[in-house]
Chains A and B, each alone.
Chain A
Amino acid sequence: MAEILTSKKLVIKIILCLAVLAVVMGLCALKGTQKISLAKVFQGPGERPGETIDYEIFIIRLRRVILAALVGAALACSGVVLQAILRNPLADPYILGISSGAGLGVIIAILSGISWSFWGGSPMAVFAFAGSLLTVWLVWYIGRFTGKSQMTGLLLAGVVVNAFFSAVIMFLTSIANSRQLRATIFWLMGNITEKDWAALGVSGGCILAGIIALFTICHRLNVLSFGEDEAKKLGVNTERTKVLAFGFAAFITAIAVSLSGLIGFVGLIIPHGVRLVFGPDHRQLLPLSAITGSAFLVVADTVARTVFGQEQLPVGVITAIAGGPFFLVLLARYSRKVSWLK
């Protein structure tokens, strides 16, 4: 019985991982094209502006680091949950049309030149959020029609809606002018920028609440991965679990997408990587994926903003380039036998 997960073991693991994440975030905030020293950061804000430039730079970077951490956590959790309810290890947060819906929203926002803002969110963010939620609702609605093998229907609906909206996006980009095009493409590749504290607070609160809500259904997701009939026989209300899982996963993904555009790979490889090392128990998989996803995206974003000096890369490029090979190494290195971390 040594390997069975208990709440105590899980809390210890989560605290350890959070400590590591905090260190990673701190280090990444110190790193940048403008060198700053830790000692000066600790002096805090000075009385006269400009005197403690190191501290100010640190805070600005910290905002960006926190944003990356939030987005990473949301995408990884969403990936975990969607892989579980679709019982498909290839599922990722974007599989049900969230990406294309958000993309369409953004393009419409850019092309129509809307410039108002809403709750600290730019028009792009608001349109992305609305677009992704509407698309998810559409996919879910279509998927319901297919009846019995509902999850297959849902997947198919997602794929088809994705393809259709992608075509519309391509059409719109081809008629857009070049300045609009650059903004669109950067967004589509996934791009993290500094946000103000208000936006961070609201979206961070929403994402954390979503993750906690998802955590409460994790033991049901375990049973659900044995199939719906099996889950019902073990006393799980599968309908409610699926709706909750799907709803919250879509919600946190939509927030992440509206903050940072389409960052690929995090939602696919982080759940897989964590599962390979720690096993498939979702009660552990979800929180540890959240933390690992945060750390991964924070590091990836740090690379994106430092590797070419002043010229910043879209972070989505880094996650794909680094994530792919890293994942293959992980896959080759661990078969399920590994148990030294359990």
Chain B
Amino acid sequence: MSGIIEVKNLSFGYTPQSRILKDLSFEVKSSSFVGIAGPNGAGKTTLLNLLCGLLSPEAGSIRIDAADIETYGIKELAQRVAVVRQEFVPVFDFTVEETVMMARTPYLGVFGFEGKTDREIVTEAIEATDTADFATRPLGSLSGGERQRVFIARALAQDTDILLLDEPTSHLDFKHQVGIYDLLKATQLEKGKTIVTVTHDINLAAQYCDKTLLLGADNNYYYGSVKDVFSSEQIKKVFGVSVFVGKVGKENFFIPLGKFAKDSGQISRKPDSNGQK
């Protein structure tokens, strides 16, 4: 079975000398949850920008719904792929409602007014993300977690099969991190959306993702199930730090330990678990 996103031999570089992504191939199945992890500068955000058509591949191809991404018009692509990027505030004080309503832009006619259906979809997205309480407040007055939920609401209201997120939980506390991931998981399970999220939080990714893509800085990558990809050897190789690996129930957890960390002596004490020797 072919995936809703198919990446084949993808290469991309901002300058001709250095390729940030090289020969990358993977497939994302419809209605699955994929996490992209890797060190800074490995090309995670670049990959996301390629997947939503902001950048064009240098070599290789990206297929969305079995058609090459280059064949989509800007509007058509926006009806298939929605993106939540790292949080930020616009110049003008739009309210939460107005912001979420903008998700309907790819569906609007000449004068750009939303109809009844559009408003219903927006109301639904606002309710699903628990943002109704501050729907009439300007975006600038919200906290980081609230704002992130608003942008997820907007992505939901865009009514696409694919949802791309760029570090949706950075700067958020535990409660909000879990809140966002639960929300994403619920959308995946209830609405059948395909979710691809870039994250620095390997532990959260391990708990929520079906598959993970681990991008290394030197163009190597690992793609597969969480267990296969997140092994202490591979994490050490990719991030260049030693990690302590423990096990919660089904999934492992990882604590990075530097030279002067209090427990740096504990690294050698690995729990026995599958996926590592």
Nearest chain B residue, comparing its CB with the CB of A276 = B93
Please measure, in the bound complex, the distance between the C-alpha atom of A254 and the C-alpha atom of B75, giving whole angstroms.
33
Are the CB atoms of B74 and A235 closer together than 8 Å? yes
Contact of A234 among B91, B123, B158 (CB under 8 A): B158
Which chain B residues lie closer than 8 Å to A341 at the CB level? none
Chain A proximity of B58: nearest CB distance (Å): 18
Point out the residue from A89, A232, A280, A339 that lies within 8 Å of B94, measured CB to CB. A280
Chain A proximity mask over B68-98: 1 for CB below 8 Å, otherwise 0: 0000001111110111010010111111011
Report whether A216 and B111 are in contact in the complex, using a CB–CB cutoff of 8 Å.
Answer: yes
Question: With A222-B94, A225-B91, A281-B98 known to touch, is A6 a contact of B54 (CB < 8 Å)?
Answer: no
Q: A7-B111, A233-B83 are in contact. Are A279 and B54 (CB under 8 A)?
A: no
Q: B108 interface residue, CB < 8 Å from A?
A: yes
Q: Select one of B52, B76, B108, B122 contacting A219, CB under 8 A.
A: B108
B127 to chain A, nearest CB (A): 11
Give the distance in Å from the alpha carbon of A215 to the alpha carbon of B109 in the complex. Answer: 13
Q: Is B101 an interface residue (CB 8 A)?
A: yes
For B112, give its contact among A89, A230, A283 (CB under 8 Å).
Answer: A283
> Chain B CB within 10 Å — which of A1, A89, A233 has the most?
A233
The answer, among B79, B90, B97, B136, for a CB contact under 8 Å with A235, is B79
Does B174 have its Cβ within 8 Å of any Cβ on chain A?
Answer: no
Q: Known: A230-B85, A236-B74. Is A220-B98 also a contact (CB below 8 A)?
A: no
The smallest beta-carbon distance between A147 and chain B, in angstroms, is 13
Known: A219-B105, A234-B106, A235-B106. Is A1-B119 also a contact (CB below 8 A)?
Answer: yes
A1 touches B92 (CB 8 A): no
Instruction: Digitize B109-128: 1 where CB-to-A-CB distance is under 8 Å, 0 elsewhere.
Output: 01111100001001100000
Identify the closest chain A residue to B80 (Cβ): A235
- Of listed B79, B111, B112, residue having the most chain A CB within 10 A: B112
Please tell me if the beta carbons of B91 and A235 are within 8 angstroms of each other in the complex. no
Distance from B189 Cβ to chain A, minimum over Cβ atoms (Å): 25
Is A226 part of the binding interface, using a Cβ–Cβ cutoff of 8 Å? Answer: yes
Task: Among A1, A7, A339, point to the contact of B123 (Cβ < 8 A).
Answer: A1
Among A6, A234, A280, the residue within 8 A (CB) of B78 is A234
B53 interfacial contact with A, CB 8 Å: yes
Interface size class of chain B, counting residues whose CB lies under 8 Å from the partner chain: 35 or more
Q: CA of A219 to CA of B136 in the docked complex: distance in angstroms? A: 19
Taking a contact as CB atoms under 8 Å apart, the answer to whether A279 and B91 are in contact is no
Contact status of A235 and B113, CB under 8 A, knowing A4-B119, A223-B102, A280-B93: no
- Minimum CB distance partner of B113 in chain A: A7
The answer to whether the Cβ of A33 comes within 8 Å of any Cβ in the partner chain is no
Q: Given A216-B112, A280-B94, do A232 and B54 touch, yes or no (CB 8 Å)?
A: yes
* Cα separation A235 to B112 with both chains bound (whole Å): 13
- Chain B nearest Cβ from A214, distance in angstroms: 12
In the complex, chain B residues 118-143 whose Cβ is within 8 Å of any chain A Cβ: 119, 122-123, 136, 138
22 contacts between A and B (CB under 8 A): A1-B119, A1-B123, A3-B95, A6-B113, A87-B91, A89-B92, A219-B102, A219-B105, A219-B108, A222-B98, A222-B102, A223-B102, A226-B102, A229-B49, A232-B54, A235-B75, A235-B105, A236-B78, A236-B105, A237-B74, A280-B98, A283-B112
